Amino acid sequence: MSERSELTLADGVRLHVETSGPVNAPVTVVLLHGWCLDRRTWHHQSKALERVNARVVAYDARGHGRSSATRLRSATLAQLGDDLAEVLRAFAPAGPIVLAGHSLGGMTIMEFADSYPQEFAGRVAGLVFVSTTAEGATHTCYGLPSTITPVLRVAEEAGAGLLARLGAWRPHNAMLPVLRPTVRWLLFGEDHEPGDLEVTMSAFGRASLRSIGGFRASVGAQHRLDTLAALGDVPAAALVGDRDRLTPPPCAESIAGALAGTELTVFEGAGHMLMMERPAEVSAALLSVVDRAAKSTPSRRSARAHRSRYDQAA
């Protein structure tokens, strides 16, 4: 049974947070959703974690789901990294943590690691990156010929800038039936459950125009391979579908190449909504990382935090 809470951040934005599982569980798992989505996209994995009595924290990012709107200047990955730090301090103040991020959520984890290296090293005992990237829009071709990618990218950036200035409106919510085929093509691969597409469309309908357009600049510009390379031997998994049109396999491959010990898995026929398209497999990968994280020790995390301080000083 999940509990719903509201966290007011330092700048006044209110986050909708849901928690489940025993407070004294050996590991707390924090689930971070993708851009223009919400915490419900992790519903398969939330159920799997509840079955093993893990502590789960899932929240809607600012400007998404049931959380309140964000100011345009705060629609950045850096701000999302700060928000994650506040969520951890409020809902997982002690013990080892596993961070699992889909798309924008994975990029948020990397931003948190870059901005709070000592806190990250001392607390984070496992990572799961699902359909995400550490290289911005470098590999994004939208499933189309790479020769037209530069033109599409310029048009997308211009459109995003316009949407960002339109504020907290959600006019697209009334057009979801018309938009459904496009969203389905862009986000899903060969197979999906109808209910999961409906959850995705509902989440997209809740995202404001400011959120749809405002985060685009920092998402496209982020580069955190060096940050990942400095994290050391954290148990980690990088998962991607070979039909992912937004974060294709080279994105996960570069993450696995930078972060030592990462288990890379490419799923045939799957698209960007991997935790819905391959729920059992993603849940199994997440539970494997949780199991390894539960065996981590405070001394080992302390040693990693010490190395992080040394590397930062150097």
pLDDT (tens digit per residue) in 85-117:
999 999 999 999 999 999 999 999 999 999 999
Residues 6+ apart with CB under 8 A from 222: 77, 107, 110, 111, 134, 135, 136
Measured CA to CA in angstroms, residue 37 lies from 41, 64, 124 at distances of 7, 7, 24
Report the CATH number that the domain containing residue 135 is assigned in CATH: 3.40.50.1820
pLDDT (tens digit per residue) in 208-252:
888 888 898 889 889 999 999 999 889 999 999 999 999 999 999
pLDDT band of 313, cuts 50, 70, 90: very low
Using the Cα atoms of residue 162, residue 165, residue 166 and residue 167 in order, give the sign of their dihedral: positive
pLDDT (tens digit per residue) in 1-18:
789 999 999 999 999 999
Residue type, 235: P
Please give the mean pLDDT across all residues of the chain: 89
Domain hosting residue 8, numbered range: 3-313
Q: Which pairs with CB-CB distance under 8 Å and at least 24 residues apart come from 299-306?
A: 301/96, 301/121, 301/122, 301/123, 301/124, 301/125, 302/122, 304/121, 304/122, 304/232, 304/233, 304/234, 305/118, 305/121, 305/122
Whether 32 and 67 have beta carbons less than 8 Å apart is answered as: no
pLDDT (tens digit per residue) in 19-47:
999 999 999 999 999 999 999 999 999 99
Number of domains in the chain: 1
